[in-house]
Structure 1
Amino acid sequence: MIRTANAPVSYGVFELSIPGLVPLPDGDQLAAWVAEAGYEGIDLGPVGLFGDRDTLPELLGRHGLALAGGWVDLPFAAADDEFDASFAGLAPVLDLFAAAAAAAPAGTFAPKPTIADSGAAERKARPGGAPELELDDERWARFAARVQRVADETRAAGLEPTFHHHACTYVETPREIDRLLADTDIDLTFDTGHLLIGGGDPVADFARWAGRINHVHLKDADRSVLAAAEGSDDPMRDVWQRRMFVALGEGDLDVDRIVDEIVDSGYDGWLVVEQDVILQDAADVDRARTDQVANRERLRRWFA
């Protein structure tokens, strides 16, 4: 069975948001919009958006939503002191997921802590990645060992982790994803939009990684924005502000083919629709809400 969810990032609530331009929705408002758009679940968003371990389950229940997952990034390639400080903050975040899982109705998929790399300046300057940006063998071995450590810690908390390949991080391209899957036992959040940015083929790559995919982010992307952002002072922010991520069917993703592939594969889990947007005026808020309704309607062929 596949259940559909959405995420705060689709409504402008994430680390690149600019709250001074337009007020961001709070957790209660966001959950209401996601439920009204027809989704069954929601991602965690910034820690605290939906409350603490005591209030999170109540908010989700009030809106008839389950927690699908949520972004948890750590600086896997950083110096030991920076990584260790970040790792020390993992347990309270996992506690939020555990509280939501314990309160979820029977038959609901448990949320998956969605582990990711925090990236680095050299990667943020080159969205899309490049062979010369890959970690050397020594740094990669440390990176993979740290990912495994986080995966083990997550399982010790009674949760199953998933790793999110992502633009502007050290796991971005298909080659880097292959390397991660070979050197750790963590399974993959397959993100169609970020795979397009990293030079992958969503349909072909889903088929070859299907046995290691335990979470899906369905996202469309306009790859022409990558070229338009070249030479920018802040390429990572620029590609988001230029709206690289578009409504399903408006970018380079063959939506019908990839969803058919996902369904036919027997995938069983959450399918989280995401459309990262940076809200820059009030009209963007309305467009975000309209787009997420349209994205859900686009999927009615497969998920009534």
Structure 2
Amino acid sequence: MIGVAGAPVSFGVFDLGATAGGRLPGPDEVCAVLNKHGYTGIDLGPVGFLGRDGELRSRLKQHGLSLAGGWIDLPFTDDDAFAAAVPSLTAALDVFEEASDGVQGHPPLPTLADSGSDRRRANPGGGPDVALDDGGWATLARNVAAAARLVRDRGFEPTFHHHACTHVETPDEIERFLDLTDVGLTLDTGHLILGGGDPVESLGLWGERINHVHIKDARADVLRAVVRDKGDMRDVWAGKAFVPLGDGDLDVEGFMDGLVRTGYDGWLVLEQDSIPQPDDDPDLADKHHAINRNVLRKWIP
């Protein structure tokens, strides 16, 4: 059975935070909104946001939520930088263990991602001139394998998130990644659209490797404008490229029908990445989470 989770990033809780004057909610407010609208899981968000150890487990239990996953980006294309970043992976896995103690159901998946580079961040959408060469791919694959071993040694199964402004962004890069590794794929519908892919088609291409899903709707016109103007991911978020399900260019019906047909059995994490603005309706995140969960009830009551 598919579990539906939410994520702190949909409330603006991530590394970029809010625009000056924008309001960020605390962990109990985020969890309460998700519980209110029938979500059963939550993404970790920034390490420590949901608490640690007993506080973390108590908060999840209080709101009827399980940990679904958690973002861990690492500099996979630089051996020295990767070695220096391994302690951050270890620290995140400590939190996964704390959150999972005694929890039944779908286990959380540590969600690995590449950190990208200045060149990739300056060129959302990718392209041949910013792609890795064979040596770069070999380095990335070797370090992903090392990270996957660390994750599996702690009793979890890793997943890998293709992401805008990183070295695994376009459909060709995702194909190359899958050829070179044994790690499952987090399919993110919004980032795939930005990278030039088709989320519905991707289910037929990569369905057997997909072990985690981030569903978000996206306005292709905003994404194309950012790519054209050489913007960055903050421009994507600030431009409100990610919108409630049904308000963008994702074929929600086709994607969800296809996902169910694959027999997918795992977490579906609803993400609507946002940067809160000072003049936002204070109930905007609550309203959007209600809309998004209601759209998904056709497939996941």
Classify 1:92/1:258 alpha carbon distance in 2 versus 1 (closer, same or farther; 3 Å): same
Q: What is the 5 A alignment of 1:218-297?
A: 218-230=215-227, 234-297=231-294
- Shifted more, 49-58 versus 59-68: the winner is 49-58
Match of 1:202 in 2: 199
Match of 2:40 in 1: 40
Classify 1:172/1:155 alpha carbon distance in 2 versus 1 (closer, same or farther; 3 Å): same
Find out whether 1:300 has 2:297 as its counterpart. yes
**Unpaired segments of 5 or more residues in structure 2?**
none
Deviation of 1:101 after TM superposition, in Å, equals 1.7
Say if 1:129 and 1:198, in contact at 8 Å, map to a contact too. Answer: yes
Find out whether 1:134 has 2:134 as its counterpart. no
Find out whether 1:180 has 2:190 as its counterpart. no
Residues 206-252 of structure 1: per-residue CA shift (max 9 Å, x gap): 11101101011111111111332357585221111001111111111
Match of 2:60 in 1: 60
Q: What is the 5 A alignment of 1:6-25?
A: 6-18=6-18, 20-25=20-25
Q: Determine helix, strand or coil for the equivalent of 1:260.
A: helix
Deviation of 1:50 after TM superposition, in Å, equals 0.5
Q: Determine helix, strand or coil for the equivalent of 2:280.
A: helix
Matched letter for residue 120 of structure 1: S
Say if 1:279 and 1:285, in contact at 8 Å, map to a contact too. Answer: no
Q: Determine helix, strand or coil for the equivalent of 1:253.
A: coil
CA distance, structure 2, for counterparts of residue 134 and residue 31 of structure 1: 39
Matched letter for residue 94 of structure 1: L
CA distance, structure 1, for counterparts of residue 281 and residue 106 of structure 2: 32
CA distance, structure 2, for counterparts of residue 211 and residue 120 of structure 1: 29
Match of 1:110 in 2: 107
Say if 1:11 and 1:289, in contact at 8 Å, map to a contact too. Answer: no
Q: Determine helix, strand or coil for the equivalent of 1:71.
A: strand
Match of 2:50 in 1: 50
Match of 1:100 in 2: 99
CA distance, structure 2, for counterparts of residue 230 and residue 141 of structure 1: 27
CA distance, structure 2, for counterparts of residue 257 and residue 231 of structure 1: 28
Say if 1:53 and 1:95, in contact at 8 Å, map to a contact too. Answer: no
Task: Choose which of 142, 147, 161 in structure 2 pairs with 1:145.
Answer: 142
- TM-score, normalised via structure 1 length: 0.95
Matched letter for residue 90 of structure 1: L
CA distance, structure 2, for counterparts of residue 283 and residue 14 of structure 1: 18
Identity of counterpart residues, as a percentage? 51
Classify 1:285/1:69 alpha carbon distance in 2 versus 1 (closer, same or farther; 3 Å): farther
CA distance, structure 1, for counterparts of residue 34 and residue 213 of structure 2: 18
The number of residue pairs the alignment matches comes to 301
Structure 1's consecutive aligned runs of 4 or more residues displaced over 4 angstroms after TM superposition are: 230-234
CA distance, structure 1, for counterparts of residue 224 and residue 100 of structure 2: 42
CA distance, structure 1, for counterparts of residue 287 and residue 102 of structure 2: 30
- Shifted more, 50-59 versus 172-181: the winner is 50-59
- TM-score, normalised via structure 2 length: 0.96
Matched letter for residue 61 of structure 2: G
Residues 156-185 of structure 1: per-residue CA shift (max 9 Å, x gap): 000011000011111001111111111011
Classify 1:138/1:76 alpha carbon distance in 2 versus 1 (closer, same or farther; 3 Å): same
